[in-house]
Chain A
Amino acid sequence: MSSKRDTADALFEAPSAQQEFWHGMCDELPLMFGVIPFGLVFGVLGIESGLGPLQTILLSTILFGGASQVVFVQLWAAGIPALIVGSSVCVINIRHVLYSASMASHLGHLSLRWRLLLGYLLTDEAYAVSIKRFTNGHAGPLKHFHLLGSGALLWTGWQASTIIGVVVGNTIPESWSLSFAIPLTFIAVVAPIMRTRAEIATAVTAGSLATICQTLPWNSWLIIAASGGIAAGWLVHHVSNGKGCTE
């Protein structure tokens, strides 16, 4: 019995770089069913909001973050000052600090060139599949190729679908209300992850503040609502934890 396991251990070799890369791509593939339509919608929205075709595509390349790009074009189209647009986008993307932090122990030893590249490719979707691989024990010393694979597939799909969206964007009539796809996309993201009381408090506070503050100057509603929601969630989290905590 034990000798059998020893042979199995001896036979197990760490996956090669190529194997890791393909593994990353295969793990990412199911998520592309959500990413490609999102990219199409974004391409269409970019054109609708008055950005040029090149600007829309560049936004996908430079920012490379679905939700933040949609917010960018939405605020841009409303003629919001660049500073407000910029800070709103930054608030949305600040979550990547968390991903980066949890990847640090897996990627920190790599060369600067690798870290720059993987940092650029570190999105919600690529993070989700690669961190799973990194923590389940199957990954070998070349596991960074897994993130490279998942990130590369995601990047290609996102850029291609944006370009297609930009091309067909002009031919879609406004009566289709395609811009409603934005809140729908976000519902798809938010609804399944709401579990705790703190998360519900966050959503209720952010939603109400956004509605109440809608007419405030410079479209500051987004930053006010987001900060209020985060504060509410944090408070509820601590109050409900404090009660049961014996420390």
Chain B
Amino acid sequence: MKIAVCVKQVPDTWAEKKLDGGDKTLDRESVDGVMNELDEYAVEEALQIAEANSGEVVVVTMGPDKATETVRKALSMGADSAIHIADAALHGSDALATSLVLAKAIEGKGFDLVIFGSESTDARMSVIPAMVAERLGAAQLTFANKVEVTGETVKIQRVTDYGYDEVEAASPAVISVVEKINEPRYPSFKGIMAAKKKPIEAVGIGDLGIDAGQVGLAAAASQVESFESAPPRAAGTVVTDEGQGGVQIADYLSAQKFI
């Protein structure tokens, strides 16, 4: 069984994220990059499925050279090899372009499963897995908090507002996972050493048959026109409870017409 797992490098959650004043894209240079947290769950799930089905796990990432750190992390967790799509033309790509690049990198390589995190912490769009499924014409099994693979059949529990849906398909399938699905492993020392020798295939858009005009900032189908810092919330009132704290809040809520 051949499994692709898509991971993204994102700015560290604790870093202050900024937009670049020039081209209004996310400033990825000035902040530390980490693997998108939800993608750690995707890697873990891929490894568990591979372990149970004597499979192979290939990491796929699109991002600047620096994203190699994130690729190495996935390899040190136990993935076998990686495809890293880095190309100056990709800077500023939107979801349409990102999904195109990922789909082209995955297409025709005989993957049975493609596993994603369900959301990146920087873009927070939650659209890439569905868009890649659409482009590949493969089954979409997204927002899974449970995945069961039995031969060709893949079954998931898809998280919904009311509970979950059981959704089933024959592979090849595109899966995205939510964080309750597993407990991602930490890379072991041995894993970190082994990762240094694992192959990372560097790919440019030309290798994927993609034209520079189809991706990047200039091709983006939506544009950021302007941005500004949100006005800080006006300082509120803070009181110390001296036995009437609940009543004081109720007074405030009454004044604001909530009750």
The finding on whether chains A and B are genuine partners in a shared complex, rather than unrelated, reads no
Residues of B within 8 A of A (CB): none
Residues of A within 8 A of B (CB): none
